[in-house]
Structure 1
Amino acid sequence: MTTIHPGVCNSQEAVHRRLGDVSVKEARRAATSRPVWAGMFARVDSMTEQVQVTRQYERTDTLLTRAGVWGPGPEGVTPVDVLLTAVVSARPREILEIGCGTGQFARLVMETMPECDYLATDQSEAMVAATKRRGVATRLVDAMQLPFMAETFDGVVAAWVLYHVADLDRAIREARRVLRPGGQFAVATNGDRHLAELLREAGGEPLVTQFSSENAAAALRRRFRHVTQRDIETRATFPDHASAVAYLATFSEELAAGLPWFDGPREYAGFTSVLTAR
């Protein structure tokens, strides 16, 4: 389950709040009065808990709302541009995408490389249906149990999805298994500071996930010998308060309600990475 550019990511920062020299009674009061959703943005398991993941991706409008706010950062490129270049430059004949979302990236690759055989997969029925409507061959598949023989594909893509899988190493191992010798695994994810300012303004905290700009390379190196990483800064632009609230609501209604009012447009920094592994 992916998007061209999802909005929330991870951060080690502010995972635990310091209570200082307060009494036990005061500490308990602080803990119980804190909105339960605020802690959600600091837990690793909130991104891999499958009930929450399923709920987030049971409708395609969630991803479309998230994707619509993102644009290039200081370099003038988006992570999608970088990922597309990485995939196309490898010249694969057969490509498997894990977590295809609404099929936007699949369509981009197919238009750029019409000769390639592209198979998109997702574990969300809604995403599979949306991708099929784009004319992309799509299957309902679990990333941790790929129903393909070993050495089937020249390229595997996983864009903004590996922080969701319940068993990260198993998913990476499966991607490695279905790749032919010399094939490339291309992935995209977010960094610790991704949208941190917006999340804090809303009273939340950036997430700490199992697959981020800070730890993705190490996870990939457990199964691949050669890993490259390019970090890309992006920008999320909200024309008004209502659009920012709508964006946050795709993760949590309570979080959206916590965003203080502001007048006019606002821009927030996003931090992403594209990695390749062979």
Structure 2
Amino acid sequence: MDGITDAEQLALQYASTTNLETRRGVWGPGPEGISPVDALRDAVLACRPSRVLEIGCGTGRFARSVTDALPDVDYVATDLSPAMVAATAALRVPAQQASADALPFPDAAFDVVVAAWMLYHVPDLDAALREVRRVLRPGGTFCAATNGNEHLADLLREAGGAPLVTQFSSENATSALCLHFEQVTQRDIETRATFEDHPAAAAYLSSFSPTLAATLPAFQGSRQYAGHTSILTAL
């Protein structure tokens, strides 16, 4: 996926919620029956936070699920995309536009910071993690989610592409976090993407790479591909 950290390409990709919704809609639990989104939410809820910051909030669905479970929580969601901020605000979650490497909040302001499937996009990962550390109170928890190098790799290969190796993946996320946090735990979860037909798979690929969508060989019937995700907590 070219341009995974390129600001101009990311702005185009997330100019609306359509691409994100297209990708999200195909995913379900893997062999263990575990949803990584549920696992991430459980990690947040286990902290019993009073104040939560989410960076890269996307459409706001995760934020809404946490505020539904914790009605008294002070939850602030941020995203670089105006469309994502608007979608989150429409779900009645306070949201504002902000960059992960320049958070407009005071030191030690939050009990929990969440980054769900977005740290592979930030141009300067260490700068973003320094900001996360800064706005967390002493003893606060950082909860993050990401994908592994082999995430949906079989589909990418079928389209003539290669597995997506990023700066913050299942394979290297713990090492990156250990530069800024004393204790890091990682839980790996296998998921499944189900495509009812070839057009559905091509639409998924087109949401981030029209080139791969165009080169995916036609197939009949439905297909399922493995996804590899990780949930990380850092103290």
Q: TM-score range by the shorter chain?
A: over 0.9
Q: Residue 110 of structure 1 corresponds to which residue in structure 2?
A: 67
**Does structure 1 retain, via aligned residues, the 8 Å contact 2:151–2:164?**
no
1:116-131 equivalence runs, <5 A = 116-131=73-88
Alpha-carbon separation, structure 1, partners of 2:140 and 2:134: 11
Is 1:200–2:157 an aligned residue pair? yes
Instruction: Identify the structure with bigger relative contact order (alpha carbons < 8 Å, sequence gap 6+).
Output: 1
Is 1:237–2:230 an aligned residue pair? no
Identity of aligned residues (%): 62
**Does structure 1 retain, via aligned residues, the 8 Å contact 2:191–2:227?**
yes
Q: Residue 212 of structure 1 corresponds to which residue in structure 2?
A: 169
Is 1:172–2:129 an aligned residue pair? yes
- For the residue of structure 2 that corresponds to 1:154, the secondary structure is strand
1:128-167 equivalence runs, <5 A = 128-167=85-124
**Cα offsets for 1:150-176 (capped at 9, x unmatched):** 000000000001000010001001000
Amino acid at match of 1:191: G
Is 1:228–2:179 an aligned residue pair? no
Match of residue 249, structure 1, among 198, 206, 209? 206
Amino acid at match of 1:212: S
- Which runs of no fewer than 5 residues in structure 2 stay unpaired? none
1:12-51 equivalence runs, <5 A = 41=1, 46-51=3-8
**Cα offsets for 1:43-85 (capped at 9, x unmatched):** 6xx3111111111111101111110000000110111011011
**Does structure 1 retain, via aligned residues, the 8 Å contact 2:150–2:164?**
no
Alpha-carbon separation, structure 1, partners of 2:166 and 2:5: 9
1:75-114 equivalence runs, <5 A = 75-114=32-71
**Cα offsets for 1:76-111 (capped at 9, x unmatched):** 011101101100001110000000000010001011
- For the residue of structure 2 that corresponds to 1:47, the secondary structure is coil
When the two chains are superposed, the root-mean-square deviation of aligned CA atoms in Å is 0.8
- For the residue of structure 2 that corresponds to 1:235, the secondary structure is strand
Amino acid at match of 1:277: A
Q: Which runs of 4+ in 1 moved over 4 A?
A: none
Q: Residue 30 of structure 2 corresponds to which residue in structure 1?
A: 73
Q: Residue 217 of structure 2 corresponds to which residue in structure 1?
A: 260
- For the residue of structure 1 that corresponds to 2:139, the secondary structure is strand
TM-score w.r.t. length of structure 2: 0.99
Alpha-carbon separation, structure 1, partners of 2:174 and 2:77: 24
Match of residue 187, structure 1, among 119, 136, 144? 144
Is 1:53–2:2 an aligned residue pair? no
- Which runs of no fewer than 5 residues in structure 1 stay unpaired? 1-40
TM-score w.r.t. length of structure 1: 0.83
Alpha-carbon separation, structure 2, partners of 1:240 and 1:208: 27
